[in-house]
Amino acid sequence: MREVVLPLRLGVLSEARVDYKFLLSRGYPREQALKFVGDRYGLTKAERMALYRSTFSKGEVAERARKLVPISAIGGEPLSVDGFNVLMTVKAALLGYPLILCDDGLVRDVLSLFQRVRVGPLMCVALELVLCVLSRYRPRSVAFFFDANVSRSGEFAAHVRRRLARLGLRGEAQAVKKADVTTMLHGGVVASSDSVVVANSRRVVDLGGYVASLVAPERILTIGGKGKPEVP
């Protein structure tokens, strides 16, 4: 498989992160603060996306730390999966894109900046890796939600339902108008790295980041700060 590399200047990003976090912790709007810091340090589009997705105020970090649960916590619990959000993180790892271990403990990709969500063979590979983890930890039930505006999402949801049944996992998969909102409302442990979903959920598991750490741990980068993704 061809490896895709996005150049991220971690030294520059680490310095920019200090300023960005300072502004966020003092209540500055995320987009305005990003433009100011990005222009000051001459950040590329990819670097701005990495900074935006990885850096949060001290208050946000503390709040999300209380919500994040380890992968083992899904055992015997209902699990709601923000389908394409999780699978795109795994797909990024498979493609060799850099992944960022963020301030809030979640792993996020920058692939979505450069590639639209597309159902294809690699998405199916990502799904199988996720299902392997679910087969190991056995949630009580699992519900996958996919954005209906993505081409072939309904067909893919049907494929997921067949795979769940084949593996003896109780669950469902649906193509819905807004997968993020449906995932939040469905409840249980929520698998997503979407910031809005995380902010509005009680318990969150980084399913995509966990699988990515198995696939390509060397691709998970930290911009300043400390921490490691959860590993088995």
Are 61 and 106 in contact by the 8 Å Cβ rule? The answer is no
Taking every pair of C-alpha atoms in the chain, what is the biggest distance, in angstroms?
A: 53
CB 145 within 8 A of CB 153: no
Q: Whole-prediction pTM value? A: 0.89
Cβ atoms of residues 115 and 50 within 8 Å: no
Cα 34 to Cα 40, 63, 95, 205, distances in angstroms:
10, 22, 27, 27
Q: Are 66 and 105 in contact (CB under 8 A)?
A: no
Q: What is the pLDDT of residues 78-107, one digit of tens each?
A: 999 999 999 999 999 999 888 999 999 999
At 68, which helix (H) or strand (E)?
A: strand 68-69
On whether the CB atoms of residues 144 and 174 are closer than 8 A, the answer is yes
pLDDT, one tens digit per residue, over 153-196 is 999 999 999 999 999 999 999 999 999 999 999 989 999 999 99
Distance CA(185)–CA(183), nearest Å, equals 6
Contact 84, 49 (CB under 8 A): no
- Whose tokens are 């619990």? That residue is 77
What pLDDT score does 3 carry? 40
Cross-strand partners of 78: 141
pLDDT-derived band at 7, boundaries 50, 70, 90: confident
pLDDT digits (tens, 9 = 90+) for 194-207: 999 999 999 999 99
Task: Specify the pLDDT at position 5.
Answer: 46
| pLDDT above 80: residue 111 | no
Strand partners, 174: 145
Residue 226's pLDDT is: 46
Q: What is the pLDDT of residues 29-54, one digit of tens each?
A: 999 999 999 999 999 988 998 999 89
> Which residue's structure tokens are 């995932």?
183
Fold of 69-222: Rossmann fold (3.40.50)
DSSP 154: H
According to DSSP H, which parts of 96-152 are helical? 111-114, 121-137
User: pLDDT tens digit string along 126-137?
Assistant: 999 999 999 999
The predicted pLDDT at position 10 comes to 87
Each domain of the chain, given as residue ranges in start order, spans 10-55, 69-222
CA 199 and chain centroid, separation: 13
User: For the segment 55-76, what is each residue's pLDDT rounded down to a tens digit?
Assistant: 999 899 999 999 999 999 999 9
Contacting residues for 125 by C-beta, under 8 A, at least 6 apart: 94
Q: Average pLDDT for residues 213-228, to the nearest whole number?
A: 80
For residue 229, what pLDDT is reported?
52
Predicted pLDDT at 1: 37
Average pLDDT, the chain: 91
